[in-house]
Structure 1
Amino acid sequence: MSEPAERLAVACPACSPDLETVHEVLSPGTTATVRCTECGHTHKTTIEEEREVERTVIVSQDGESFKTRVSAPAEEVVAVGEEFIVDTEEALMTVRITSLQIANEQRVESAPAEEVETFWTRAVDNVNVPVTLNPRDGRHDATRSLKLLLPGDQEFVVGETETFGEEEFTVKSIRLREDAREYDHSQLDHRGDGALAKDIKRVYGDDETSDAWSVW
């Protein structure tokens, strides 16, 4: 079975000189031969290759950082909070942009890729989520903390009880990271509010772990 012909959108001089229509590529190349799927007219068109740039990426993970490189379309606008995949010596990793450095070491929220000198990012495949727990009797002077290594897409929901090994707690509120841009608030404390582990700065909860406070 033959593979379907490559298609692209270009203006057709016969039926649509001002608007792009779908064309089949008959002969690929910088100057390609194409056929309009609307009227069947065959003609040549110049296909501009997308210009790419290679940039430095600093990846932060578990308090450590390392450097790699990434290629991106030169004119593509990138922004803090966006995620992309980088190929490192260890593995393919999904990272989130936390800052963009342009000329003169300026930091910006967004810019075309060709203007960016360094992408500052953090790994979001697997993340550490700090958790602060209050004892069931409400004594704030007897809180304890733990840190959970979780997949970035693990969800926490206010009001729900979570169990991780011997640890069990009910989520009271969630503080979000500054680069978690899709939320309306930086703190979630209404029942049913939820967030992914990669977006969370800290979880606050009521300790439900059996005998966790028996020493008091």
Structure 2
Amino acid sequence: MVHEIIQAQCPDCSPDEPVPHSILKEKPGMLIKCTQCDAVHPHHIEKKRQKEVRVVVSSGESSFIRKLTLYSDEALTVGDEFVVEDESTGEASFVIVTSIETDIKRVDEAITNDIETVWARSTDKVIAKISITKGWQTESIEIEVPGDREFNVGEILKEGQERFLIKKIKLRVGGFLRDEGNSAQAKYIKRIFADSMERVEFLSRPKKTYRKITHGQGGSIIRPRGSASWISKKKGED
């Protein structure tokens, strides 16, 4: 007969550190046997306390309230992602924690037992904010995309009749992505910066070059007042 193995302290050979034990009996009281010294002793599993936490979820311009059940000693951190459900419809939403409120102040991390309210942002659908430079002017547009939609530096996007090239991406947490091929999911992006294709084509045109003209060693070109012509004058000449 194969017994299930669990980790537990042994009162005989390892009272401080868990060691492997085989389960001899589960109910009404668990009885286990140490695999190191063969000592048999009862084992009590303490049930963890749980707490229901209020979650305020923002989605675009609106917000809604959900509830989340966590273990009381579980830590929650800004940036954590989880699923909340609408109790009436059963509809689930993926959210990401943006702020945590305790009975004292807002923090970036806290134990569930100390949390009053969790502020989160829905990541099922997000608004991608894009700043597009056209010529010497910049305009902003907003598009709704799935939260896991990836944007890449160097990617060409199309909105209506317009096409534009992503130049850099500002993350919600962290700095900018600038190197071509760098990418991030929409739910982690604060703003996208792009150039219109007309601007890209203009900037990629070869630049005109000019050749400097000299007239012999030590010569310089001067332009006398009132004349549109150029004359050459060497050093030491009057």
Give TM class, smaller chain. 0.7 to 0.9
Match of 1:63 among 56, 61, 64: 61
Structure 2 counterpart of 1:109, which letter? D
The structural deviation recorded for 1:6 is 5.7
The structural deviation recorded for 1:77 is 1.4
The structural deviation recorded for 1:38 is 5.1
Range with greater deviation from structure 2 (56-65 or 9-18): 9-18
The structural deviation recorded for 1:21 is 2.1
Q: Measure the CA separation in 2 of the matches of 1:29 and 1:169.
A: 66
Higher Cα radius of gyration:
2
The structural deviation recorded for 1:42 is 3.7
Deviations 1:82-135, CA, capped at 9 Å, x for gaps: 11111124621111111111114x111111000000001111122111112223
Tell me which of the two structures has the higher relative contact order, counting C-alpha pairs closer than 8 angstroms and 6 or more residues apart.
1
Q: Measure the CA separation in 1 of the matches of 2:197 and 2:118.
A: 41
5 Å-filtered alignment, 1:57-136, equals 57-88=55-86, 89=89, 91-104=91-104, 106-135=105-134
The structural deviation recorded for 1:30 is 8.6
Identity percentage of aligned residues? 34
Cα distance, 1:126–1:101 mapped onto 2, change above 3 Å: same
Preserved CA contact (<8 Å) 1:159 1:191: yes
Indicate whether 1:204 and 2:193 are aligned: yes
TM-score (norm. length: structure 1): 0.78
2:180 is matched with 191
5 Å-filtered alignment, 1:16-31, equals 16-28=14-26, 31=29
Structure 2 counterpart of 1:174, which letter? I
The CA RMSD over aligned residues, in Å, is: 2.7
The structural deviation recorded for 1:43 is 2.5
Structure 1 counterpart of 2:55, which letter? V
Q: Structure 1: any 5+ residue segments left out of the alignment?
A: 210-216
1:157 is matched with 152
Q: Measure the CA separation in 2 of the matches of 1:60 and 1:66.
A: 7
5 Å-filtered alignment, 1:156-175, equals 156-163=151-158, 168-175=163-170
SS in 2 for 1:114: helix
The structural deviation recorded for 1:11 is 1.4
Number of aligned residues: 196
Cα distance, 1:119–1:26 mapped onto 2, change above 3 Å: farther
1:11 is matched with 9
Range with greater deviation from structure 2 (190-199 or 49-58): 190-199
Structure 1 counterpart of 2:180, which letter? R
The structural deviation recorded for 1:73 is 0.7
